[in-house]
Each structure stands twice: as structure tokens, then as C-alpha cells.
Amino acid sequence: MNNMDKIVNLCKQYGFVFPGSEIYDGFANTWDFGPVGVELKNNIKKAWWKRFVQEDKNTYGVDAAILMNPKVWEASGHVSSFSDPKMDCKKCKQRFRADNLIEEYSNGTVAAEGMTNEEMEKYISDNNIKCPNCGGTNWSEIKQFKLMFETSRGTVEGNKDTVYLRPETCQGEYVNYVNVLRTSRTKVPFAIAQIGKSFRNEITPGNFLFRTIEFEQMELQKFCHEKDGMNFFNDYKKRALDFIIDLGLDKDKLRYHDHDKLAHYAKAACDIQYKFPIGWEELNGIHHRGTWDLSRHGEFSGKKLEYQDPDTNEKYIPNVIEYSIGADRLTLAILCEAYEVEKLDNDTREVMHFNPSIAPYKVAVLPLVKKYHKEKADEIYDLLSSEFMCTYDETGSIGKRYRRQDVIGTPFCITVDDDTLNNNTVTIRDRDTMNQITLDIKDAILYVKEKIEFR
């Protein structure tokens, strides 16, 4: 079993992530976060918000509607060109992205991104590229496959308008640029951030949470003067990398991937890639988008999106620097990084070495002997759970209970024993070192609080 399969099984077994609609035999490429997983993902989102919104006095949050006026998607270019080149294998009927087939075949040495459909068809035929599923070479012609999910709005049958499930959250930030500027009484440069669901009818979803059809994005748009654009671009490149290292990703498994080919309006683009068990893949993107977004929305809405600098009176359309990261993809990277099967003297243990600030539960409260220590343990649970997320376990040997906490990444286990009854002290066991210390219960709270802060 490869590492990704182990992670998928572990997630299912311990309540991180379940297959979507499982009792109906599932629904491909949808996943439900369970009790442990939802805590982990929420903590990751909170850490992002703390770092990029709370601690940055010129960044403002929004929570925009998923369904937007369809003109938004005309202005953004999604209606006309948000599609991938699909090809069907006529033998096994599986569907593939032609650009992916070429990139995989050439080991990334041929960039299919800039090729026309005819050029891709010729390359695939000249090189006799085989279907990864059945080995066949009888391919359909390439067709553009639309990636936006469509639905309709309207109460009268036959009189319905097409609307789209948003494929990215950032358009909710662009359309609120003037609202946020006005109500926050701020000046350019400033940023708008948002966390929310996006939907894409991906041709080849897969690899667990890596590519799904419904996912959460954490996106931030910095609105700035053209002269400051490259500085902010480089600044977000650095801050984006620092953030994921601070969350616990190994810096040797991270690298920048600067784009050679840019969209016609873009001035610079860079991904940060992480070495997933499936190989080096994009984790997040930083893009210098010039004035494209605000110019297009100005044009399509007929509204003035020009900014007038109150100090110099200069009028201009701000440039946009975008920083975008998938919350689910980052959760997957964190799960892969944290997982270890650790060899002990006469044993092994599965352990998730999460940074304590994002661990699902901060503390597990364990009465040593249920019969004698439960009442006090309940009291301590109530005390601690008003401060941070806790869990409670009274069944099985203490060793087994430690292992159960190790595998869900609980950084501290607090054991309640006779000493707790007699003099209010508890034993705190550290997940990573497995060392134990004894503290007064009040000091134990301070000890844990200090260690779980995200900085």
C-alpha cells in the first residue's frame, strides 16, 4: 500500500475524512470531513486568517455569495474559456486531459499549455501515446470541456437563466472592491481576503483531497499601484512560503515554480509546489494580474472602478496581486507531512506530528481508573474544554489510549490519578517525545495554552 492509500485509510478509520455519501456507495471525488478532520481543517483556515487578515491591518475579509450574477463570469473570461482539452479513449471509454497525457508522457519536458488542439492531437498520434487505463491508442478528437457547473435560476419552467457555481472565490473580492474601500475608509494599497467553497467539473479529479469537484479556497487580492506590484508579488511569494513552513511543512519538500508562459494580462506568476506522495504538485499560486480584473468588471458592469489617490489626485485602475491556496489541498499536505510510523524499542506506533496549533484536539483527558477518577476527570474536562478543544477517553489500558491519541495527533494527554484527587496535580504526556511531567492543574492550562498558539 502506498503512502497516499495509507493516509486515505487512516483518515476514514479515525474520523478525519469519509467518502462522500458513503451509504449510497459514495459519490466519486466528494469527501466529507469527520469530527477530527473538521477540527484540523478549521484550525488551518483560522491560522491562515490570523496570519493574513488579523495580523495585517490593511487586509479586510468578506464572505461573498457562491451564486453570482452570470455577467461576472463573462467579464472574468470563464464563460468563454474556462475549459480543458478532453480526449476519450474509444476502447475503455475513460476520459483524459490531452495536456496531461502529453506532460506525463514527456515527463514534464513538453509544456502542452501553449499548444493548439490540433498540435496536441498530432503529438499524441506521432508519439503513439497510450491510454493510461487500458493501453489502447484509439483516441477521440480533442474537445474543449467546460469546467463550470451550471444550474438554473427561475420559478417559471422554460423561463430560466443559467447561473454558475463559482469556480473560484476571488471574483467575490473583485466585485466588492469599491464596497470594502468605502466602508473600511482605507486607501490603496489594501487587500481583501475570503475563504469559501469553489466548484469545478474537473475531467480528471482524484488523489483523494488533491483534486476534487468541490473544495475550499483561501484567496487574497492585494490592490495596489502599478509601481508597487512586483514588490507585493515578491512579498506574498515569501509570506506564502513562510506560512506553510510555520504550519509544519518541511522546507525541503517545498519549491517555487515560476511560470514561463503567462496569461496575456499577467505580469508574473509563481506556484509553490509540495512533494506529495504522488510527486511534486502545486499547492498554491501567487499571480500578478495587472489591471485585468478590475478593468473587465468596470467594462462589463458599467461602473467606475477607478481609484483616485487622495494625496496625489492621480486616477488609476489598481493592479491586483493574488495569493490563492486550497484549504483541502493544504490539509492533505499537512496530513502527508505529519504522518509517521515510528519504530519504538519493541513496538511501532502511528503518529500524526501536527503542529499543536492546528491539531484537532489539544488535550485528551484520561482518568487512570474509571471507577476512582472519572468524577475528577469530568471536572477537569469541563475546565479545559472552555479554553480549547479537548477529547475524553476512559476505555482500555492507558498505553492503548495514548496510541489512539497519537494517531489523531493530540499533542497532550492529561492523566487524572490519585495525586489529582489528593493535591490537584495532573500528568501531562507529550505526543512527540512521550515524556511526562507533573503540574498543578492551573499551570497545566497555561502550559498547554502557551504551546498551542500559532505564531
Binding site for ligand GAP (CB under 6 A): 168, 170, 200, 202, 211-212, 215, 217, 219, 282-285, 322, 324-326, 328-329
Q: How far apart, in whole angstroms, are the C-alpha atoms of residue 262 and residue 268?
A: 7
Q: Which is nearer to ligand GAP, 200 or 376 (CB)?
A: 200
- Cβ(377)–Cβ(416) under 8 Å? yes
Least separation in angstroms between residue 44's CB and ligand GAP is: 12
Q: Shortest approach of ligand GAP to residue 262 CB, angstroms? A: 14
Contact 338, 354 (CB under 8 A): yes
Of the pair 190, 208, the CB lying nearest ligand GAP is at: 208
**CA quadruple 155, 157, 158, 161: dihedral positive or negative?**
positive
Q: Which is nearer to ligand GAP, 60 or 215 (CB)?
A: 215
Distances (CA, A) of 190 to 56, 157, 181, 292: 10, 44, 8, 17
Shortest gap between Cβ of 72 and ligand GAP (angstroms)?
13
Instruction: State the CB neighbour count (10 A cutoff) for residue 192.
Output: 26
Which lies closer to ligand GAP via its Cβ, residue 39 or residue 322?
Answer: 322
Minimal distance in Å, beta carbon 210 to ligand GAP?
6
Three-state DSSP class for residue 213: coil
Distance CA 442, CA 285 (A): 44
- CB 15 within 8 Å of CB 343: no
Point out which residues pair with 326 in neighbouring strands.
217
Amino acid, single-letter form, for residue 420: T
User: Strand ranges (DSSP E) for 89-129?
Assistant: 95-97
Pairing of strands 390-392, 363-367: parallel
Q: What are phi and psi of 146, to 5 degrees?
A: -70, 135
CA-based angle 123:129:130, to the nearest 5?
155
Instruction: Tell me how far the alpha carbon of residue 402 is from its chain's centroid.
Output: 29
What's the closest the beta carbon of residue 28 comes to ligand GAP, in angstroms?
Answer: 13
Which residues are within 8 A (CB) of 235 and not within 5 positions of it... i.e. 6 or more apart? Answer: none
Q: Between residues 153 and 238, which has the closer beta carbon with respect to ligand GAP?
A: 238
Residue from 266, 168, 298 nearest 220 by CA:
168
Q: Give Rg (Cα) of the chain.
A: 25
| Residue number, 149 or 372, with CB nearest to ligand GAP | 149
Cis bond upstream, residue 85 (ω within 30): no
* Least distance between ligand GAP and beta carbon 215 (Å): 4
Residue number of the CB atom closest to ligand GAP: 326
Would you call 330 exposed, middle or buried from its count of C-beta atoms within 10 A (0-12, 13-18, 19+)?
A: buried
Nearer to ligand GAP, 326 or 367 (CB): 326
Kindly state the smallest distance separating residue 185's Cβ from ligand GAP, in Å: 27
Min. distance of Cβ 285 from ligand GAP in angstroms? 4
**Closer CB to ligand GAP, residue 200 or residue 237?**
200
Rounded to a whole number of angstroms, the minimum distance from the CB of residue 360 to ligand GAP is 21
CB nearer ligand GAP, residue 105 or residue 199: 199
- CB closer to ligand GAP out of 271 and 393: 271
- 68 vs 389, which CB is nearer to ligand GAP? 68
Residue 205 C-beta: closest distance to ligand GAP, Å: 6
Contact 186, 192 (CB under 8 A): no
Report the distance separating Cα 339 and Cα 367, nearest Å: 27
Query: Closer to ligand GAP at the Cβ: 207 or 415?
Result: 207
Cα 105 to Cα 126: distance, rounded to the nearest angstrom: 12
Q: How far is the CB of 375 from ligand GAP (least distance, A)?
A: 46
Neighbouring CB atoms inside 10 A of 279's CB total 10
Q: Least distance (Å) from ligand GAP to the CB of residue 330?
A: 7
